[in-house]
Structure 1
Amino acid sequence: EDWETHRAILAPYPAPFDDIPGVDGPSADWTDDEVYAKILPMLNERMMRCDVPLNLTATGLVTHAYLYTGDDRYKRWVLEYLEAWAERIEANGGLCPDNVGPNGIIGETMDGKWWGGYYGWRWPHGFMTIIQPLTIAAMNAVLLTGDMGYLDIPRGQLDRLMDLGRVEGNALIIPQRYTDDGWTAYRVLRPEYPLQIWYMSQDERDRQRLERFPERLTDWNRVAPGRGKGDDIHIAPWYRYLEGANPDYPLRILEAQWAEVARRMDRMAHDNTDPETWDVHHWQEINPVHTEALLQLTCGGPQIIYHGGLLHVRVRYFDLDARRPGLPPDVGALVDALDAESVSLTLSNASPLHLRRMVVQAGAFGEHTFTTVTDVTGERPVTQDVNNRHLEVTLAPGAVLKLKLDMRRYCNRPTYEQPV
């Protein structure tokens, strides 16, 4: 990586090492050329020669290759690499090491320490860059195999850290870093990764883990302004909506995200700043494209995990007449309930003149199968067999259709092949 773009960003973070010559404080000033010149060789000697958990995000790239080709060698690579990290975790007493040396030895270039690696427990972010790649890779493995057991890998890290945590001010805080002084940097645990795991598994154990967050009954209903770095800050209120405890969430999130789109468009239109002064995140901070609410409400799934997660949703749409992905013109969709075996979907054609035809696909990559569809629009539900990953739907002008789609999840080979 070209660290030049991140020198000012990394300066406030804890120093990557305790023994940087001439650096006595908890942080190292990366903007100081002399300090920077000392940090780089230490990074190269100690960190860059190791395998680190962050590399598990590469399983997303290889899973993409499998989705395009169906070649089992890509699938095997993903599973073998994730399982190698599971073995390392077991060898380290259940905690994920953040560095494995060239000879496969934990702590080989870090004086025997299992912590202190590149984007690991100590520097710069701590737990986030441990749990994030583990969750991404485990979800990829479930997509490829249907084996929910892979989720035990990130579950184990969550449970260990939550057991080390405590409740302060109506919030669960956990240690975010491990250093020579032990566990430190206690901060609020974001619910994103426990919720991502619950969404995929629909396991009661994962739902019970969510009950360990006292703030779920208060803060989780809130729709915050903005979108966050990864457009992913509203998974908790969406979960509460699915629980039936946040009924006006669809309206509030669409209002909030439309306001943020307008704010960012205005900022772009009036951005007269000097490009030479722009931070590396300049365009990211004013990007007006929001997808979180649309994915949650129309496709029945959470936002992708930032830094390489794939799309995991219950349904995806294709316009039969235009022969393209996406909802047809004038058509709206809302997923208002889901469980391990079904999803509830409302489809609406706002056109008073035009009939709309579409295909509803079971999963982002056709990984699920619809077993039956029940039309619950009228007083008497009507059920039909489907037993297919695709369902054709025709909406008359002005029609509203409410469907309950029973499904078997993760039973098909996932693929980028499209039905239109």
Structure 2
Amino acid sequence: METITGVPASTIPAWAVLQRRLFDDIEDAWRLFAARYTHEDGGVRFPAVFTDRDGVDDLYEPFFNWPAFYLLGGSDEVLAAAKRHWNGVTAQLTAAGMLTDEYENGYDWFHQGESLLFFYGICAADPGDPHFAARARRFAELYTDPAAGNYDPEHNIVRAPHNGALGPRPGLNDVVQPYSADLAEMERYGLPLEYVDGIERWSDLADPARARAMGEAMQRAATGDVVVNLAATSLVANRWLYDGDPASADWIERYVGGWAQRARANGGLVPDSVAPDGTVGGLHDGRWFGGHYGWTWPHGLPSVGMATVVSGLNAALVTGDDAHLDTARAVLDAVLAEAIVAPVADTPYSLRGGWLARLGKDAEKPGMLVPHRFGRDGWFDYAPMPLELPTWLWWWSRGDADRERLRIVRDGLPATDEPVKPFRDKAEAGHEAPWLDFLDGRLPDYPELALSMALGQVARRVAMIDADDSDPSTVHLHFWQRVNPVVTEVLTQLVSGAPQVLYNGGLPFAAVEYEDADRGRPGLPADVAALVTVLDRDRIELQLVNVSPRHARRVVVRPSRFGRARLTAVGFGTADGADYPGPTTAYAAVAGRQGHALVDTDANGVEVLLPPAHRIDLVLVTAPADAPAHHRGAPAIAQTADSKE
């Protein structure tokens, strides 16, 4: 492996100082959160009692990005805490009857995907942990092993919208529950099923008989496959990443391919449901829409689009064929073809509250809105396209067509005088637009603006924790998500060159990964800041700065995406003739003649030596890997069934 030495930094960039301050503040904040809201065994201070199948995700989600913080350069202690909390929460949920053999009994994959982000993050952060490696294999086999019952190999479908450790579960609840107009918080989403006799509008559900009829219809329709089940491919891809298991890759390719075939038969747009006999729309009188978490109810594009992007990335990962992203591309192109221009504030969009908070006063300005749902009256529910969807397609392919689609969506957002808005939601995302502007050279001060914003978000979460005098056992189930002080979106963008992970079940990809060469662990060493400035198809540019005036640091840098790119050459800045720190009689050090070198390499990374107050500009020249390969460096998963700690 090539070793490159940095050059003296005559000034320490502000972004580097802010980035290292953010690492320090998060370290203090997660400890405060853990001490205030968790038991010694890692469980949440909350009586885990559930009345239906919902709620498993809410106890895992407060910690979803803690392993990601470790991978970026967080302390060893944050990884140990993440494992402790996963084990503690798992024990809580098992005692509550929500898990079997450490896995969810069975629920929809919109929520399972959220639950599993925490698990995927731990697997990526410490692939050598045999307990989590064995879990990865065992959990994946709930879908790849037909004996588990979830997957029907004859029809190439997952057998039910609710599925998991107990196999395909009947309906949406263990008993039929009326769907009443009393569920006021659900009114904004409209009717769950639009073709129930005698029910034409929400107010009809005020009649107990009609509410019962809706509940019974929902229970009957909750069988067979639905499009959000595509997120289960992440569970299988997560297992594949340990040892490149061919059967896992084959399952992903076949299952994703089945939905792609249905999309082609539907004119290119993916349908949302398949009856147990394998027929599209067989439970909805032949209609291609109307399935659970599908095009009509409750969210449409955010769930359908997320599932197709996530599964397309997984299939591309294990096969090396980016054509698996075509189903997701068709979803985005279909709604773009129906776009209108209007202010978000003027639309009745069902999830408009999130956009109003995100856009602030800019919600009054016109922007491009696309339909998020399709029902008996055609396309409806207009809002901005979730920018993370086209961002991830381009980020993976680096293709011109994906970049052009992303440009259209990004340029369609309302104009703003405040490019980096101070907000944060539970997905810890939403700042894709200014990051993309930075990569395009249109917002050069994004790193400073974004890091300053992130520091403010950590400070606000800490202030909320300090001001909280409630009994943790009585708070709302979403409370801990709202005060989680671990902030990783901006660090993920700047350090690893990737968007924030797709929240409904995406795997934690990165463009660049790092290793602390002195400590032999992933992530940036102490005092080192990183900034990815260019992402091209065959080139990544980044800067590294050692902000310490006393300590030298060594860091290994390599292209990532779980091994989908291989390093072919490394370019780096030089300063021939530099004299640092120079004699005490000089008013300034001699900077030296600036130059650039390029070294060919077939190593999997480059080692950078950064003396105190030194920096380096790197160019990683890459080429596609010759074949898909697992990229975790862990031993093959043990074949024993015993995986508990």
Please, which of 257, 280, 291 is the counterpart of residue 106 of structure 1? 280
Q: Does 1:54 align with 2:54?
A: no
Give the fraction of aligned pairs with identical amino acids, expressed as a percent: 37
Secondary structure of the residue aligned to 2:408 is coil
Counterpart position of 2:102:
none
Letter matched to residue 372 of structure 2: Q
* 2:388/2:432 contact within 8 Å kept: yes
**C-alpha distance after superposition, 1:142-176 (max 9, x if no partner):** 22233222221111111111112123354211121
**C-alpha distance after superposition, 1:238-268 (max 9, x if no partner):** 1110000011111111111111111112212
Name the CA shift for 1:221/1:202 in 2 (closer, same or farther; >3 Å). Answer: farther
Counterpart position of 1:392:
607
In 2, Cα distance between equivalents of 1:207 and 1:393: 32
Counterpart position of 1:413:
629
Q: Following TM superposition, by how much is the alpha carbon of 1:315 offset from its aligned partner in structure 2, in angstroms?
A: 0.6
Counterpart position of 1:212:
408
Please, which of 109, 115, 119 is the counterpart of residue 289 of structure 2? 115
Q: Does 1:88 align with 2:262?
A: yes
Q: Gaps spanning 5+ residues in structure 1: where?
A: none
Q: Following TM superposition, by how much is the alpha carbon of 1:9 offset from its aligned partner in structure 2, in angstroms?
A: 4.7
Name the CA shift for 1:34/1:402 in 2 (closer, same or farther; >3 Å). Answer: farther
* 1:14/1:27 contact within 8 Å kept: no
Name the CA shift for 1:261/1:22 in 2 (closer, same or farther; >3 Å). Answer: farther
1:14-413 correspondence runs (5 A) = 14-18=190-194, 25-26=201-202, 38-46=213-221, 48-169=222-343, 170-213=366-409, 214-215=411-412, 218-219=415-416, 222-273=419-470, 278-378=475-575, 379-411=594-626, 412-413=628-629
Letter matched to residue 369 of structure 1: R
Secondary structure of the residue aligned to 2:549 is coil
In 2, Cα distance between equivalents of 1:35 and 1:373: 67
Letter matched to residue 186 of structure 2: L
**C-alpha distance after superposition, 1:179-219 (max 9, x if no partner):** 11111122222322111111111111122223334435834
In 1, Cα distance between equivalents of 2:389 and 2:278: 28
* 2:368/2:413 contact within 8 Å kept: no
Letter matched to residue 360 of structure 1: V
Q: Following TM superposition, by how much is the alpha carbon of 1:371 offset from its aligned partner in structure 2, in angstroms?
A: 0.7
* 1:12/1:28 contact within 8 Å kept: no
- The root-mean-square deviation of aligned C-alpha atoms, in Å, is 2.6
* 1:367/1:414 contact within 8 Å kept: no
In 1, Cα distance between equivalents of 2:619 and 2:271: 44
- Report which stretch shifted further, 160-169 or 21-30: 21-30
Letter matched to residue 332 of structure 1: A
Letter matched to residue 184 of structure 1: F
Q: Following TM superposition, by how much is the alpha carbon of 1:64 offset from its aligned partner in structure 2, in angstroms?
A: 0.5
* 1:11/1:29 contact within 8 Å kept: no
* 2:234/2:505 contact within 8 Å kept: yes
In 2, Cα distance between equivalents of 1:377 and 1:75: 44
Letter matched to residue 93 of structure 1: G
Letter matched to residue 205 of structure 1: A
Secondary structure of the residue aligned to 1:376 is strand
Name the CA shift for 1:132/1:387 in 2 (closer, same or farther; >3 Å). Answer: same
- Report which stretch shifted further, 236-245 or 350-359: 350-359
* 2:268/2:327 contact within 8 Å kept: no
Secondary structure of the residue aligned to 1:244 is coil
In 2, Cα distance between equivalents of 1:287 and 1:167: 36
Secondary structure of the residue aligned to 2:278 is coil
**C-alpha distance after superposition, 1:28-85 (max 9, x if no partner):** 879x998775544322210x21211111111111000000122111111111111110
* Structure with the greater alpha carbon radius of gyration: 2
In 2, Cα distance between equivalents of 1:268 and 1:22: 49
- Report which stretch shifted further, 52-61 or 378-387: 378-387
In 2, Cα distance between equivalents of 1:248 and 1:362: 25
Name the CA shift for 1:334/1:72 in 2 (closer, same or farther; >3 Å). Answer: same
Q: Following TM superposition, by how much is the alpha carbon of 1:312 offset from its aligned partner in structure 2, in angstroms?
A: 2.3
In 1, Cα distance between equivalents of 2:203 and 2:319: 44
Q: Gaps spanning 5+ residues in structure 2: where?
A: 1-50, 59-182, 344-365, 576-593, 636-645
In 1, Cα distance between equivalents of 2:445 and 2:382: 33
Secondary structure of the residue aligned to 1:212 is helix
- Report which stretch shifted further, 168-177 or 158-167: 168-177
* 2:533/2:542 contact within 8 Å kept: yes
In 2, Cα distance between equivalents of 1:178 and 1:250: 39
Name the CA shift for 1:269/1:41 in 2 (closer, same or farther; >3 Å). Answer: farther
Letter matched to residue 397 of structure 1: P
Secondary structure of the residue aligned to 1:387 is coil
Name the CA shift for 1:276/1:236 in 2 (closer, same or farther; >3 Å). Answer: same
- Report which stretch shifted further, 375-384 or 83-92: 375-384
**C-alpha distance after superposition, 1:273-307 (max 9, x if no partner):** 45566433221111111111011001111111111
* 2:242/2:630 contact within 8 Å kept: no
Name the CA shift for 1:387/1:65 in 2 (closer, same or farther; >3 Å). Answer: same
In 1, Cα distance between equivalents of 2:185 and 2:447: 35
Letter matched to residue 400 of structure 2: E
Secondary structure of the residue aligned to 1:267 is helix
- Report which stretch shifted further, 113-122 or 201-210: 201-210
Counterpart position of 2:52:
2
Letter matched to residue 234 of structure 1: H
Name the CA shift for 1:216/1:397 in 2 (closer, same or farther; >3 Å). Answer: same
Q: Relative contact order: is structure 1 or structure 2 higher (C-alpha 8 Å, sep ≥ 6)?
A: 2
* 1:162/1:174 contact within 8 Å kept: yes
Name the CA shift for 1:381/1:97 in 2 (closer, same or farther; >3 Å). Answer: same
In 1, Cα distance between equivalents of 2:318 and 2:620: 22
